[in-house]
Every structure is written in C-alpha cells, then in structure tokens.
Amino acid sequence: MAEADTVKTESRATAPMVVTAIIVVEMFLLLLLYLGLSRYYNAQEVESLIEGANANGQSYSVEIHNGLTGSYSFSLN
C-alpha cells in the first residue's frame, strides 16, 4: 500500500512541473510567432514604401533599427 501512495505523491509532484513546462514552451512559440510575423509585415511595408517612393521619383532613407523584428524608420528626403 505504501508503494501506491508513493506513486500518487510522485504524480502529484510532477503534474505542476508538466503544466509549467507546457506553458513555457507555448510562450516561447508565441514569441517566435510574434517575431516572425513582425519581421515579415515590416519587410512588406518597407518594400511597399520603397516602391511608392521610386514610382514618384522621390529620394528616401530607410534605417533598420532591429534586425530581429525588422523595425525601421522611413523618411523621404
């Protein structure tokens, strides 16, 4: 009977660890998704701004602030 109690106690102790591990993995995956989408949409926006400036014959400057997320500054000269 003591063996059964030990198994129940161990399963109760590991349950919170499993839940915590799942939450940490989900948060990491959400962070990767956020970074990927931010970078993609920022790149699309910069490309659109550059095409518009070139179509209108305007000079511009683009400064990428963060290569990971693709955050940028765009200004017409």
Residues in the chain: 77
Residue 39, both tokens: 């970078």
pLDDT in tens, the chain (77 residues): 556 556 566 667 788 899 999 999 999 999 999 999 999 999 999 999 999 999 999 999 999 999 999 999 999 99
Tell me if residue 25 falls in helix, strand or coil. Answer: helix
Residues 17-35 have pLDDT tens digits of 999 999 999 999 999 999 9
Model confidence pTM above 0.85: no
DSSP string for 26-63 = HHHHHHHHHHHHHHHHHHHHHHHHHHHHHHTT--EEEE
Contact of 58 with 74, CB cutoff 8 Å: no
